[in-house]
Amino acid sequence: MKRLFTFSIMLLTASATFAQNPAPCSDLFFSEYIEGTSFNKVIEIYNPTSVAVNLSDYKLLLFANGSPTPTSTFTMFGNLMAGGVYIVTNPNDTSVYINSIADTTAGTVNFTGNDAFALLKISTTDTIDRIGQIGIDPGAAVGWPVGSGNTSDHTLVRKMAINNGQSDWLIGSTEWDVYPLNNFTQLGAHTMTPCAATPPDVYLINATQNVNEGDGSITLELGIINPDANATSVTLTLSDISATITQDYDLTGNPVTVTFPAGSSANQTVSVSIIDDTNIETAETFNVAISNPTNNATISTVQEVVTIQDNDTPGPEVYLVNATQSVSETDGSINIQVGINNPNANATSVILTLSDISASIGSDYDLTGNPVTVIFPAGSSANQIVSVTIINDANLELDETFNVSLSNTTNNATITVSQEIVTITNVDINSYIGFWLSVDSVSETMPVYSATLEMFSGTTTIAPTSVDVSLVIAQSTATEGVDFTFNDTTITWPAGPPNSQYAIFHLIDDGIIEPTEHFVLTLSNFTNNSALNTNLSGSMQINITDNDPNSINEILNNKKVMLIPNPTNEKTLLLTNGKFEYFEIRDSAGKLLQATNIHNQKTATIIITDLSPGAYFVIVHNGKNSETLKLIKQ
């Protein structure tokens, strides 16, 4: 509810009468209490009923400093819609956001942490809700304990489960969630668990079950909570995970309907057939799901996973002995070893296949008849050997790799290690490249800087050689487009004697006082049989040193706060000439977008990349005062 009131304020006097608490969802109650900085004091009242309420029948009472009788009162006015809130703040409240959503102001909302506050229903003279203990002063700096905090310098929000006022503060003090000082994020609306009958809830009794393949069947159980006078049904569906329906398990008519009779809380069961095959296999699983409840029921446990344990004798296991191997280009060949576990009275075979990664079959390596069949004789546990030819070419090239894989076993065998990577090492590198420096520093006043790359080669290159130079965002603190410009580029050396090449970037003199920032370049994608020179560096960090004034007073020129640059599109620097505790960013409608503590720092960087172009307000706060600046996002 927001400023929908045209009635006159009717001032009434009433004593603090205490009566039985209102029934759940039958009358108004306090939903939020803000004891903020200076005059940032707010009371929010919530209407949990299903109809609009005439507020002229309600009065706010303030009991200051332990007074047993009201020291100030305020009679509300207008109508509060069902499920709506009514916000009353202090007339001197300085928060732009609070004033933008408050329904009215009242001098009665002038409490500190030791002042009790009550909501009085005039027609019954009942105090239907209150905060604090009337007639007791716990001390303004301490307040009454509430959860992890207290009524002093905190924001209190009524818990979702609370649906009526509480005249007994010993109970009422347990009904609030506690938030830090000046937290306004939940003001303007309140969430409460509805007062309604609880519908039936259907669930699977078990989240998981195990069954032996030889057991023949497994029973699925479904339970129900809150059955009512109507029958309740759900749809039960079985689906494959690694098990296969009709081969490993089965359910006639799947999916099936499961019905709980009216008023019955007895579990319902469904029997699923488990099929005993002769396959030697790992444990297999299928899924049980329930859906489509009737009678407005809910489902709290939707899924069950059933695991079928195999009861057959373990079969052979075939595997590659090595996950990786290396071989020199000059060695001529390499042996691939294939092993077996659990051999039995039958022969076992497996298909071995070679495939290219960076090496090329027929040019760098070869295997006659690829793919080939590897056979383990009956009862034999000896490793089988496949010899692969390694071809020694005269090419200048980097190390190359090829893949070895196993597939298509016989005798119900499984494959436990199916892949091996073979690396062919090569010594025919044409040239080596790297950054001359791993770290360098440059002032932001220098417009152009060149990162030097060197090539070392035993002979003159007969073809162009290149390497990619890329910006590493994750390792950089400087911002591209704000502090420097650099496009990922390819550096190329022409054919001929080796020489120096340069990665060129431009620096931006931004006028912002800031610490040294850096960005990182890295090398990749070497061509023409070139590689990284291990005596140089594969990456380079460029440190950008700031050249801007060190004196904030010089920039501020007697102002208290300033934003530089403004307008901006990425970030701006907040400069202060005084002690400020935190700043807020709000849009033109007063909506809070960001709140950040600065703890009396003289400078703070504000990042606005996520904001849309337009005008915003930066409000800087100390204990009692604030300064507001207009910020333009381009």
pLDDT in tens, 162-220: 999 999 999 999 999 999 999 999 999 999 988 766 789 999 999 999 999 999 999 99
- The side-by-side arrangement of strands in the sheet containing 176-179 is 104-105, 85-89, 41-46, 29-35, 155-158, 176-179
The pLDDT tens digits for 236-261 are: 999 999 999 999 999 999 999 999 99
- Measure Cα distances from 382 to 68, 318, 413 in Å: 96, 11, 16
Tokens of 217: 């069947």
Give me the pLDDT at residue 1, please.
42
Mean pLDDT within 603-617: 88
- The candidate with the shortest Cα–Cα distance to 564, out of 581, 580, 552, is 552
Mean pLDDT within 447-470: 80
DSSP 8-class letter at 314: P
What predicted TM-score, i.e. pTM, was given to this entire model?
0.34
Give me the pLDDT at residue 64, please.
95
| Lowest mean pLDDT, pick from 20-29, 297-306, 509-518 | 509-518
Place 464 in a pLDDT band, splitting at 50, 70 and 90: confident
Place 16 in a pLDDT band, splitting at 50, 70 and 90: very low
> Could you check whether the bond before residue 549 is cis, i.e. omega within 30 degrees of 0?
no
Give me the pLDDT at residue 484, please.
86
Is 172 within 8 Å of 147 (Cβ atoms)?
Answer: no
460 pLDDT above the threshold of 90: no
594 pLDDT above the threshold of 80: yes
> What distance in Å separates the CA atoms of residue 218 and residue 221, rounded to the nearest whole number?
10
Tokens of 530: 């070139």
Task: Report percent pLDDT > 90 for the chain.
Answer: 56
DSSP 8-class letter at 342: S
Give me the pLDDT at residue 530, please.
82
| Lowest mean pLDDT, pick from 306-320, 446-460, 613-627 | 446-460
Give me the pLDDT at residue 507, please.
86
- How many Cα neighbours within 13 Å face the side chain of 621? 20
Q: What is the residue type of 344? A: N
Domains and CATH numbers, the chain: 29-179 (2.60.40.1260), 201-309 (2.60.40.2030), 317-425 (2.60.40.2030), 431-545 (2.60.40.2030), 553-633 (2.60.40.3080)
Output 469 or 578, whichever has higher pLDDT: 469
- Helical H segments across 228-314, by residue range: none
The pLDDT tens digits for 108-147 are: 999 999 999 999 999 999 999 999 999 999 988 889 999 8
Give me the pLDDT at residue 455, please.
81
Place 9 in a pLDDT band, splitting at 50, 70 and 90: very low
Give me the pLDDT at residue 548, please.
64
Is 249 within 8 Å of 277 (Cβ atoms)?
Answer: no
